[in-house]
Structure 1
Amino acid sequence: MEELRFSIDEEKYDDRHGQVLSLGGWYAGSDRQEMSFCLVGDGNQELVLADPERYERPDVAQALEADFGEFLPGFRLRIPKADQLAEQFQQIELFLTDGEKRVSVWKKSADELKSFLNQSLLEYHLDRVEILYDTMLEIQGWAVDQRGETEITALNQDGSPFACRISRGRRPDVAERCSLDEIYKNQEIGFRISASLDEISGKKLLLKFTGSSVEKAYEVDIQKLRKEQRPKGFFNRLLNRQENTQGDYEQWLKRHFLSRRQAWKQKHTSFDRKPLISIVIPLYCTPLPYLKELIESVRKQTYGNWQLCLADGSPDENVHEFLKKNYRHEVRISYKKLKSNGGISVNTNKAMELARGEYLMLCDHDDTLEPDALFEIVKAINDQDAEVIYTDEDKVSMDGQHYFDPHFKSDFNLFRFRDNNYICHIFAVKRQVAEQAGYFRKEFDGAQDFDFIFRCCEKAEKIIHIPRVLYHWRCHMDSTAADPESKAYAFEAGRKAVEEHYKRMGIPAKVEMTERPGWYRSRLEIQGNPMISVIIPNKDHTEDLELCLSSMAKRTSYENYEVLVVENNSEEKETFAYYEKLHERYPRVRVLTWEKEFNYSSINNFAAEQAKGEYLLFLNNDVEILTPDWMEEMLGICQQKEVSIVGAKLYYPDDTIQHAGVVLGLGGIAGHVMCRASREDAGYFGRMVSVQEISAVTAACMLVDACDFRAVGGFDESFRVAFNDIDLCMKIRDMGRKIVFTPYAELYHYESKSRGLEDTPEKQYRFEKEITRFREKWEDQLKKGDPYYSPNLSVTEGDCSLRED
C-alpha cells in the first residue's frame, strides 16, 4: 500500500430510494492494483457492502501524470439505510484494504452523519443573479426537496417581507442532469424572482428555501452586485466620482467632520458662561508620538479656555524633557512629575490636584479629541446647565489613520449603565459634583472611571449626552478597547463598582459577571410578595391559549399571580367547552366576558378594573413562556424607583428576535429594533443583551404598576388595535416615569395569529386613522426623536446601521 493516493470528492444522499448514501472518488497505488472497501461501525463491527461501481478518471490520470492502463481508479460506493447507521453507531469509518493492511479514507460521527443527511434533503442552485438596466434584480434557479415541495421566500436585510414576484416552472433539464426521479420532470422545481431595486431596503437580500424538514438561506449582496455591474475605467470615474459608500463609517465621518467655516464660527462664538475646563490625564510611560497627537488635538480646540493637567508616574524623564522642548511656552499645560507610580487612580487624583477649572474632563494619555469637543461641552453647560456631560466616541488605529467601531450612545440610561460602562469617553463633570462624589478610589483600579462616573451621576441633577463623535479611543492590544481578556481584573472591579452603587442607593441586589467581559447582570431582590394579575384577551384559538397557559403553569417560578382570560366574541363551540374546564385545570385562571365589539384597549381596561393585583401583566394569547423566573425578573425591575412598565424579550418560533424594545420614530411612527436578528445576536454595543430604559415596549408581554396604569387612565380606547401599547408608554413617560426592557424575561411570540392581517379596506382605514391620531397626539416627541436611540442611527432600518443624510 505504498504511495496510496485517494480522494472522496462526492457525497450524495438519496432519501427516496432506500436512504442510500453514495460516496464517489478515486484511489491509486503504485502497483495499480484493485483494492477492497471495508465499512466499520464504532471501530470493530464490519458492515456488508455491495461492490462499488468502477469507472475511468482521466482527470486524475492527467493530474498524476500516470497511465492507469486497464485499472479503473474511479469508484462510486453505495451505503444503504444510512439513517439507521447514524442511529446504530457513534461513528462509521470507510477503509481501503489490500487484505493485509487498511487505510482510512472517510469517517463521520453519528451527529455529523445525521446533519449531512438532513441537509442533503434540500438542494438549491442559483443559475443567474444579476441587475438589469440598473433598475431590476433578476434571480433564476431551482430547488428540490426529497420529501416534498420547496417554498421560496425573499426577505429584506431586516427580515421584513420583500415585495417581489416569484414565479415557478418545470426544469426537466435539471431532473435529467441530476438523475432525479421522473416526478421531478413535471414538478415546478424551477423559480424566477423579479424585483425593482427601489423596493429593496438595506444592502442585502435573503432568500429562504424551506423544505419538509430543513431550511436553507442564501444571501444576495446587492451592494456588491451594483459594484460588479458598474461601468469600468473612465466612465466609472465619470459617473461615480461623488459617490460615498453607503454605511461606510469613515466616509460618514468625513461628512460630519467640523468644517473650516464651522470652526471659524465656533472660535468667534461668545458664551455667557466661559468655564475653565481642566482636562485631567495620568501619564505612565506614554509613547511620545501619541502624547504629541493628544496635546495637539487639545490645542486645536475651537474653545480656548482649557487647562491640560498631566501627572506623570513614569520612571524616567522622557515626558518632562519632551514637554520642555516642545511646549514650554504653552501656559495652559500643567505638569507634575510624581515621585512614584501610585497606579491609575492615585495618579489621576494627583492630576486633579493641578486642576483649577470649574469642570473636570477625563481623558486617556494616548487618545485624541475632535476640535469642537470642548465647544460642544461648553454649549451644553450654557444651554442646559449641564453638570455631567458625555459624548459619542469611536476607535482609532495605532497609526492614527483609520477610524472604526463608532459608539453612538443613548441619552442617560441608568439601567443600561448598570449593565456596562457605556458612557466611557468623553466624560466631563462639574467640579462641585466631583468633590461631593469623591475622587478616584484605588480599590477600583481597572474600573476606576466606572466607579467614579456612578458616584458623579448619583449626585448630578443634569446629565447631558452630546450625540457627536468627539473622542477617538486609540485601540491597542493592552487595552480593554481591543482585548477584553487582557484586563480580567478590571471586570471584577467593575462588578464591585455596580454592587457598591446599589448599596449607596439602598437597593438590595446581587451583581454577577456575564459571559461578555465587562457586562454585568443585576438580580434585584423583590420587596414583599405582591400579586400580579395576568390579563390575556382571547377569541377562539384555544390551541394558542392552551400553550400559553400550560407553559406558564409549568415554567413560572413566581407563585402569587392570577390569570384573567378575557373572552371576546368567540364563535366556536369548542372554545366555550374549553372555558368550562379551564378553572379546574388551572385554578389561578378566571374567565371574564367582554360582550362588545373588539377593541383591544377597552378589553384590557375592562379586565384591569376587575384585577386584584398590584401589578398588571398584559399578555398575548399566542406566547409561550421560556424562562422560569420571567415574572421575578420583570417585577424586581418594576419595583424600582420611577419605573412603571417593564417589557420582555420575544422571539419568533425560528429563534429570531420579534421584540427587544420599541424605538420612537423608527419606520415613521415606532418600530421594533433589531427585529428578525438572531436570538444569539448581542446587538449594537450589547443592546439586545442589556437591561435598559427605553421609550416603549410591546403589550404582548408588558408588566405595569397598577396604580400608574390607573393614574394615566389606562389604554386610550381611541386606539382600538394599533399603537395602544406605545401610547400607554408615552403617557407613562410623560408623567415622569420610566419604561425598562429586560432581555432576561424570554418568550416565544407566535405573532398576529389571533387578530389576522390588515387585509380589508375597513381595517386599513382604521389603521391609517390610528397612525394619524398617534402622530398628532405625540407630534412634539416624534420631532425630538427617541432619547434612547441615537440620531446618528437609521430610522428607516431597524438594525442600528448608520443614518444616511
Structure 2
Amino acid sequence: MGLTIKGLSAAIRRIGAGQGGDGLFRQAPHFAGQVAGLVDARIEDLTVLGKGRLVLHPGSRISFGIKRYLALSALSVQLVLDIEAETVTGPPHLAIDYGAGHTPELTFALRRLDAGSRWGIHVPLPHFVRGLRLEFHGLMLGRTEIRACLVQRSDLRDLLDHLFRMPDLDRRRLTLGKVAGVLAAIERERDAVAEDAAAERPQAALAAAVGQGLLADLAQSAPSDPAYAALAERLDRLTEADRAWMDAETARFARRPLLSVVMPVYEPPVDLLEEAIRSLQRQTYPRWELCVADDASPSFAVRDAIRRLAAEDPRIRYVFRERNGHISEASNSAAALARGDYLVLMDNDDLLPDHALWTVAHAIDRNPGCRMLFSDEDKINLEGRRAQPYLKGAFDRFLMYGHNMFTHLGVYERALFEAVGGFRVGYEGSQDYDLALRCMERCAEAEIVHIPHVLYRWRQLPGSTSMGASQKSYAFEAAKRAINSHFERQGYPLESVDGPFAGIAAVRTLGVRDPKTISVVIPTRNGVDLLRPCLESLLGLGDPLLEIVIVDNFSDDPETLAYLERLRRDRERVVVLRSETEFNFSQLCNLGVARARGEILCLLNNDTEVLSLDLFQRARAWLSIPDVGAVGGRLLYPHGAVQHFGVYTGVGPYGIATHAHAGRADGEHVQFSKSVLLQQFVAVTAACCFLRKADYAAVGGMDEDFAVAYNDVDLCLRLRKRGLKVICDPGIRLVHKESVSRGRDVDPTKVVRLRREAERMEARWGRAGLRDPFYNPAFSPRGGDFELAEFPRVPPPWKDPTSLPAARVEEVPVVAVELRGTAP
C-alpha cells in the first residue's frame, strides 16, 4: 500500500491535536512526532492498524527522497529514525541510490544513536542521491511505532566518528558508490552542456553541484558541548516543586503583564510551526497571547494549521495578509494584533523553554520601568541537540556595532515599539537589528535589561542565519545600513564597514571637525632599545597635534641618558621629565599628566610600538562622543598572540581582574566574535589608554596607593562611576613587549605586594563593585576564558531555591599577573 508524506504529516497533526489515539507518529520528547527533510515517501508491504500503529513484515520498506534545500546545500545528511518494534533482532537498513538503483552493495545498517529506540546513518553528497529506502529485512517485526523520521544536515564530529567506526568494506563501498554517483551526474550534465554550450546555466548547475557539496559554508549543525548540554538539561528540567515555586512567585508579582508574542509566518515546515506554537502552549506563565501574521504563504497547509491551532486556543490571534510584503510588513501586521504590555519576538520555527515567558515576567517585576529586555540563547537542530549557547553580558551599544547582541529573546515595551514606528521596510533580514538600534536611542541604560539565562532555542535550518551569517548576505548589508542610520541620527563620526569575518561589522572612524591635541605620557627607566622604537613609531605618524611626555624614573644607563638628552632638543614635540623616587607607576603617570598640554591623554608603556596608522584619529573620534570616558586598544605580543583586549573584573587571581582573550591568536574567532569586536569593558590596561585630561582630573588621576597593579582598573572604575563608558577598539593596534623592561611578578616579594594591592581593591570596591556586568554569570570565576561553571553564579529564578546547590567559593590559584601591563 502507498502513503505519502502529506498523509504522514496529517497523521501527526491529528495526533498532536489529541485525535487518533497513540498514532503512527506519537509525540516524543526528542522529536515531538517529527517527519522532516523527506519528500515523496512510499510505504510497501506494511500494515497500518486502526490507531496509526504499524505491523512490519519481512519485506516492509519505506522509500523516499531528500528535500531539495538539503540536497543542494549539505555536504552530508543524517537520517534519524526513532522506532519501537515488538520484535527487534537487528538494525534497520538503508539502501542508497546514487543513480544505479538500489543495490545490495549500497545497502547499510543503521547504528544505534543511544540506548533507546533511535537509529541513524550519514549519507554523503546528498545532491547526487536519487532515492533512499529503509528496509527492515525481518529484523524488526510485529506491532511497531515510528515516533520520528527525519533527514537533517550531518554534525561533522558525529559524521567523522561514524565513518571511522564503519567497517572498511562498508566504507569502501560507500566511497565507490559516491564516486560513481558523481561521475554519473557529470556525465548527464555533460550532454546538457554540449547541447547548449552558449548558455551558462548548465555549467553553473554543474559547478553548483560540485561546489555546494564540497564547499558548503558551515553546512554541519553546530557540534554540541557535552558540558553545556548537561547544564542545560539540569536547568531546563522542571520539577513539580519548581512549578509550585513559580506559581507562588507569580502571585507575589507587583504586576502581571500580558506578553504578546509576535510571530510573522511565511511558508515554514508545518511540523516546525506547530512545534513552535506548542512550545508556547507549554509556558508556565499564563498571561500571554500569540499574534500571528501569515505573509501570503503559498501553501494552504500553513493557513490550515494556523486556523486549526487558533480554534483550539483562544490566546492565538491571526491575520492572513493578502499579498506578500516580506518580514517587516508581516511583523508589523502581527504586532498590530497585540493587546499586551510587551511584545516578544519569535520566529515561526524556533522554540521557547517552558519557563521562558515566566522568566521575562519575573524580570519585568524586578525591574520596574524597563522598556527592553533580552536573554541568552542557543541553537537546536532537528534532532533536538542543543549547542552554541550565546551567554551574553549586559547590554552594550558598542558591541551592537559589530553584531546584534540583542536578537533572541527580544522583548519590547509596546509603547516604545509604537513610538519608533515598528519595523522599517527596507531593512528586511536585519529588521530586528534596526528596531533594537532605534529603540535603544530612546532608552536610559537602566531601562534595557539583560536576563542572564538561555530563554530561546534558535532552530538550525538550511538558509537560516543560525547556520552561519553567510547564509543571508543581504541581511548583513541591511545590518550595516541600520548601523549607519543610527550613526547619522546620533551624529557620531563613525561608519559601519565589513568586519574580519562574514556577518560581523567593523567601525571606521571619520575625521572630527575640531581635532583635539593629544599628549602621550610614557614612564620609562633605562631600556633605550625599547623606548627608541616606541617613540619612532609615534613620531612617524606625523600628527601635528601630538605631544610626547617622557617621565624618566631615575635612568642610569649612559646610552639611555644620552638618548633622552637628544630628545629634549625636540621641544615642539617632546617633553622629558625626571623623577628620582622609588618606582610608582601611578605617581609617574600623574607627574606626566600634570605637565601635559593636550586635551586628550594617552597613557602608554615604553615597550610598545604602534601598528595602526589611524591610531589618533580613532581616539579623537571615540572621545568626541560625550559618554565615552576611556578607550583601550588591542595589544599583541611580538609573536602575534593577544596580550590584552580589555579586562574582566571579579574573576581571575584573587577575584579582582584578568586580561580578556590573553594568549589567543590575533585572528581567533570566539565567543560570537567578541574576541575581535569593538565593545565595552569595565577596564582597559594603562599600557595604552586614551582619555580626556578633564576626566582624568575629575576623578583625581591615578591612585598612588596602587604603585604597580590594578591602578588602571581602579581608574576605569572611577570613570564608570561618573557614568562614562570604557571601550576597547580592535582598530587601535600595538605590539606590547610585556615584561621586558621590568620582569613579571614571580618572586615572593612581588607576589606579596600583588596580594596587598588586591586586598586594597576589594576593600575599596567590594565584591559587588567588582562584579563584571559584561562577563556572563554562567562562566566560572576562576578566569576570563569563558569556561562554564558547574552552576551559574546567578541562580535561575524559575528553580525552587531549596533544590539549588549551596553557594560555593571557588579557590583560584594565584599566578603572577600584571593587570596594568608592564611598568618601566
TM-score for both structures, normalised by structure 1: 0.68
Equivalent residue, structure 2, for 1:594: 579
| 1:142-541 map, 5 Å | 248-260=227-239, 261-268=241-248, 269-270=250-251, 271-313=253-295, 314-385=297-368, 386-399=370-383, 401-461=384-444, 462-525=447-510, 526-541=512-527
SS in 2 for 1:752: coil
Equivalent residue, structure 2, for 1:672: 659
| Structure label with greater radius of gyration | 1
SS in 1 for 2:663: coil
Q: Is the 8 A contact 1:451 1:497 kept in 2?
A: yes
**Which consecutive aligned stretches of 4+ in structure 1 deviate over 6 angstroms post-superposition?**
none
- State the alpha-carbon separation in 2 of the partners of residues 415 and 258 from structure 1: 35
- State the alpha-carbon separation in 1 of the partners of residues 500 and 648 from structure 2: 27
What is the letter of the counterpart of residue 300 of structure 1?
R
Q: Is the 8 A contact 2:401 2:496 kept in 1?
A: no
Equivalent residue, structure 1, for 2:725: 738
Q: Is the 8 A contact 2:378 2:388 kept in 1?
A: yes
Question: In the TM superposition, what is the alpha-carbon distance from 1:479 to its structure 2 partner?
Answer: 0.8
Equivalent residue, structure 2, for 1:121: none
SS in 2 for 1:650: strand
CA deviation profile, 1:661-693 (whole Å, cap 9, x unmatched): 100122121001111010111231111211111
- State the alpha-carbon separation in 2 of the partners of residues 246 and 276 from structure 1: 36
Q: Is the 8 A contact 1:311 1:350 kept in 2?
A: yes
What is the letter of the counterpart of residue 478 of structure 1?
G
Matched, 1:773 2:752: no
What is the letter of the counterpart of residue 283 of structure 2?
Q
SS in 1 for 2:496: strand
Equivalent residue, structure 2, for 1:148: none
- State the alpha-carbon separation in 1 of the partners of residues 508 and 469 from structure 2: 24
What is the letter of the counterpart of residue 561 of structure 1?
L
SS in 2 for 1:550: helix
SS in 2 for 1:345: helix
| 1:501-650 map, 5 Å | 501-525=486-510, 526-554=512-540, 556=541, 558-584=543-569, 588-650=573-635
What is the letter of the counterpart of residue 416 of structure 2?
V
- State the alpha-carbon separation in 1 of the partners of residues 436 and 237 from structure 2: 28
Q: Is the 8 A contact 2:633 2:688 kept in 1?
A: yes
Q: Is the 8 A contact 2:658 2:783 kept in 1?
A: no
Q: Is the 8 A contact 1:558 1:632 kept in 2?
A: no
Equivalent residue, structure 1, for 2:55: none
- State the alpha-carbon separation in 2 of the partners of residues 771 and 303 from structure 1: 44
Equivalent residue, structure 2, for 1:685: 672
CA deviation profile, 1:564-615 (whole Å, cap 9, x unmatched): 1101121222221121112446951110111222111111111111110111
- State the alpha-carbon separation in 2 of the partners of residues 321 and 679 from structure 1: 52
SS in 2 for 1:404: strand
SS in 2 for 1:688: coil
Q: Is the 8 A contact 1:246 1:804 kept in 2?
A: no
Question: In the TM superposition, what is the alpha-carbon distance from 1:509 to its structure 2 partner?
Answer: 2.5
- State the alpha-carbon separation in 2 of the partners of residues 376 and 480 from structure 1: 26
- State the alpha-carbon separation in 2 of the partners of residues 278 and 404 from structure 1: 28
Q: Is the 8 A contact 2:257 2:342 kept in 1?
A: yes
Equivalent residue, structure 2, for 1:708: 695
CA deviation profile, 1:739-766 (whole Å, cap 9, x unmatched): 0001111111111222223344443332
SS in 2 for 1:633: helix
Relative to structure 2, which stretch is displaced further, 525-534 or 744-753?
525-534
* Runs of 5+ unmatched residues, structure 2: 1-223, 792-824
Higher RCO (Cα < 8 Å, 6 or more apart): 2
Question: In the TM superposition, what is the alpha-carbon distance from 1:534 to its structure 2 partner?
Answer: 0.2
Distance 1:341 1:615, change over 3 A: same
Q: Is the 8 A contact 2:667 2:676 kept in 1?
A: no
* Runs of 5+ unmatched residues, structure 1: 1-244
Q: What is the RMSD of the two structures over their aligned residues, measured on CA atoms?
A: 1.8
SS in 1 for 2:702: coil
- State the alpha-carbon separation in 1 of the partners of residues 226 and 582 from structure 2: 47
Q: Is the 8 A contact 2:274 2:305 kept in 1?
A: no
CA deviation profile, 1:452-479 (whole Å, cap 9, x unmatched): 1111111123000001000000011211
SS in 2 for 1:252: helix
Equivalent residue, structure 2, for 1:131: none
SS in 2 for 1:687: coil
CA deviation profile, 1:621-672 (whole Å, cap 9, x unmatched): 0111111111212221122121110001001111111001100122121001
SS in 1 for 2:467: coil
CA deviation profile, 1:422-461 (whole Å, cap 9, x unmatched): 2111111111111111111111111111111111111123
Structure 1 or 2: more strand by fraction: 1
Query: For 2:741, which of 729, 754, 772 is the aligned residue?
Result: 754
Question: In the TM superposition, what is the alpha-carbon distance from 1:528 to its structure 2 partner?
Answer: 0.8
Q: Is the 8 A contact 2:641 2:663 kept in 1?
A: yes
Relative to structure 2, which stretch is displaced further, 745-754 or 479-488?
479-488
What is the letter of the counterpart of residue 528 of structure 1?
D
- State the alpha-carbon separation in 2 of the partners of residues 247 and 577 from structure 1: 61
Q: Is the 8 A contact 1:258 1:371 kept in 2?
A: no
SS in 2 for 1:441: coil
Question: In the TM superposition, what is the alpha-carbon distance from 1:283 to its structure 2 partner?
Answer: 0.6
Relative to structure 2, which stretch is displaced further, 335-344 or 739-748?
335-344
Aligned length: 559
| 1:110-121 map, 5 Å | none
- State the alpha-carbon separation in 2 of the partners of residues 492 and 375 from structure 1: 35
CA deviation profile, 1:308-331 (whole Å, cap 9, x unmatched): 000112123323322444452311
- State the alpha-carbon separation in 2 of the partners of residues 355 and 444 from structure 1: 22
Q: Is the 8 A contact 1:669 1:782 kept in 2?
A: no
- State the alpha-carbon separation in 2 of the partners of residues 688 and 315 from structure 1: 43
Distance 1:282 1:622, change over 3 A: same
Relative to structure 2, which stretch is displaced further, 495-504 or 787-796?
787-796
Question: In the TM superposition, what is the alpha-carbon distance from 1:498 to its structure 2 partner?
Answer: 0.4
SS in 2 for 1:684: coil
Question: In the TM superposition, what is the alpha-carbon distance from 1:483 to its structure 2 partner?
Answer: 3.7
Q: Is the 8 A contact 1:674 1:683 kept in 2?
A: no
What is the letter of the counterpart of residue 244 of structure 2?
W
TM-score for both structures, normalised by structure 2: 0.66
Q: Is the 8 A contact 1:644 1:737 kept in 2?
A: yes
